[in-house]
A and B are shown apart, each in its own frame.
Chain A
Amino acid sequence: EAGVAQSPRYKIIEKRQSVAFWCNPISGHATLYWYQQILGQGPKLLIQFQNNGVVDDSQLPKDRFSAERLKGVDSTLKIQPAKLEDSAVYLCASSLGAGDYGYTFGSGTRLTVV
């Protein structure tokens, strides 16, 4: 089966610019997650979707980050405006359902804010 697809793989932007990341989960996976992984740290959950509804966005900096999963399949994560501390790898993961913790991760998008 195809894995979790993410694009772009790399992005370099200047601070205060905007950026968007795209994720296509494994077919049939109802739950989708966006994680932020800062260099040298473990992934940190930003937002969790169950189909097209938000389950947990408690750690999403909502003043600058937004995410949507309009049709319950693909998802986009946006940062506007970006700050230097947003430099990180943004990982998308999916699972069959909310109680399935064997997530499948994509390869991530490495964001560098200069």
Chain B
Amino acid sequence: GQQLNQSPQSMFIQEGEDVSMNCTSSSIFNTWLWYKQDPGEGPVLLIALYKAGELTSNGRLTAQFGITRKDSFLNISASIPSDVGIYFCAGVIQGAQKLVFGQGTRLTINP
């Protein structure tokens, strides 16, 4: 069944705007990751988080591992056209060893 709730499902923004998306679950996670998928390609890892409260940046992207260990957030600052794509959160549930994915957030940018 669905273990990760990712929101929003889609976003339509203007170039230059900041973007926020998140993933929540009723389960406790040991690891959170954020991937981006372009059309016709596989997901590409953006940021990995391993500790509750951890805040990690990769260029204009910043992700946080929620204090409760049940959520994670991704922010993109000053969006540019190449940020268009589908962003997936993924996590490893405590006690498990496999990665589960959210449903994705489709980002569209108007120039």
Residues of A near any B CB (own CB < 8 A): 4, 40-45, 48, 55-56, 91, 93, 98-99, 101-108
State which size class the interface on B falls in. Answer: 20 to 34
Ordered by A's residue number, 23 sampled pairs between the chains whose C-beta atoms are within 8 Å are: A4-B42, A41-B103, A41-B104, A42-B4, A42-B102, A42-B103, A43-B88, A44-B101, A45-B99, A55-B97, A56-B98, A91-B43, A98-B97, A101-B33, A101-B90, A101-B92, A101-B99, A105-B42, A107-B40, A107-B41, A107-B42, A108-B41, A108-B42
A45 to B88 CA separation, bound complex (whole angstroms): 14
B98-A45 in contact (CB<8A): yes
Instruction: Identify 16 new A-B residue pairs, CB closer than 8 A, beyond the known A40-B103, A41-B103.
Output: A42-B88, A42-B101, A42-B103, A44-B101, A45-B98, A45-B99, A56-B97, A91-B43, A99-B97, A101-B33, A101-B90, A101-B92, A102-B33, A102-B45, A108-B40, A108-B41
Task: List B contacts of A98 (CB < 8 A).
Answer: 97
A105 to B42 CA separation, bound complex (whole angstroms): 5
Task: List A contacts of B104 (CB < 8 A).
Answer: 40-42
9 nearest CB pairs, A to B: A105-B42, A42-B101, A43-B101, A105-B43, A91-B42, A102-B45, A107-B41, A42-B103, A42-B88
Q: Give A105's nearest chain B residue, CB to CB.
A: B42
Q: Give A6's nearest chain B residue, CB to CB.
A: B42
Decide if B74 is an interface residue (CB 8 Å cutoff): no
Task: List B contacts of A103 (CB < 8 A).
Answer: 45, 99
CB proximity of B101 to chain A, nearest CB, Å: 3
